[in-house]
Amino acid sequence: HTQDAQIGALDPRYFPRPFYLAMLEAVDTEMGRLFAGIGADLANTHVIVLGDNGTPREASISPFEPNHAKLSPYEGGLNVAMLIAGPSVNAPGREVDAQVNVTDVFGTVLDMAGARIQGLLPAGYTHDSISLVPYLESPQATPRRSHVYADWFAPNGPQGIGDVRAHRMLRGERYKLIETYAPVRTTELYDLLQDPFEESNLVLGPLVALSHLDALASLQERLAELVGGH
């Protein structure tokens, strides 16, 4: 009740974070009610919960910068939580640091159900979903992805306010490339091991380290392979 009173005295246009936290608490409460309603069958149920694209910039707090939050190509807008629970999970309560993509939910659910993707897709269709079940079954599972990709291609986004954006992002285990095509052409390279909040664009600095040059060339080559010149 005290928290409700405090929120009631605020204007969400100027103080959005308390409302954002209250929304998360409400979601958590309703999910708890859902799981309680499943009852004993929950032991045989897989639950997958994941974020979409980060915290809104209005509700972000340090060390995450507002322009590195939701709807951005930075980690604050792409690196989101994914929680998986259920009978396929061995040694629950652990964290897997391997790279995954939201498209992997498709292959994971089919794998959990004992189905094969090839038998479900029409002839000639391909997919890029990788099952995460090996990660769930073994803490020692080797990473199945070497890179993850995301993009924002024009004319997506709000129109009429000069917010036409287009960018592509590709990251490996350590380095991350962001190629922006609109509204201006830029290239960014970050060492996520040394710079997890993407504060130092290595392209703008003295690229004296051979590893930086190699990482930039490798990621640009891999990105070109993925997009095929489009």
**Per-residue pLDDT, 1:** 47
Whether 66 contacts 58, CB under 8 Å:
yes
Around Cβ 134, how many Cβ atoms within 10 Å?
Answer: 17
**Per-residue pLDDT, 161:** 43
Instruction: State the pTM of this model.
Output: 0.83
**Per-residue pLDDT, 206:** 67
**Per-residue pLDDT, 105:** 95
Report which of 192, 164, 181, 163 is spatially closest to residue 223, judged by C-alpha positions.
181
Around Cβ 162, how many Cβ atoms within 10 Å?
Answer: 8
**Per-residue pLDDT, 143:** 94
The structure tokens listed for 14 are 């100027």
Rounded distance between C-alpha atoms, residue 173 and residue 182, angstroms: 27
Report which of 210, 222, 131 is spatially closest to residue 177, judged by C-alpha positions.
222
For residue 123, the Cα-to-chain-centroid distance in whole angstroms is 30
Rounded distance between C-alpha atoms, residue 81 and residue 96, angstroms: 11
Strand partners, 142: none
Whether 130 contacts 110, CB under 8 Å:
no
Rounded distance between C-alpha atoms, residue 192 and residue 96, angstroms: 17
Exposure string (b/e) for 207-229, b if CB count within 10 Å is 16 or more? eeeeebeebbeebeebbeeeeee
Rounded distance between C-alpha atoms, residue 230 and residue 226, angstroms: 9
Rg (CA), the chain: 21
Rounded distance between C-alpha atoms, residue 69 and residue 76, angstroms: 4
Spell out the per-residue pLDDT of the chain, length 230, in tens: 455 555 566 788 788 888 889 999 999 999 999 999 999 999 999 999 998 888 888 888 888 889 999 989 999 999 999 999 999 999 999 999 999 999 999 999 999 988 777 677 788 888 889 999 999 999 999 999 999 999 887 665 544 444 567 899 999 999 999 999 888 889 999 999 999 999 999 988 766 677 788 999 999 999 999 887 55
Report which of 143, 191, 195, 187 is spatially closest to residue 169, judged by C-alpha positions.
187
DSSP letter at 124 equals T
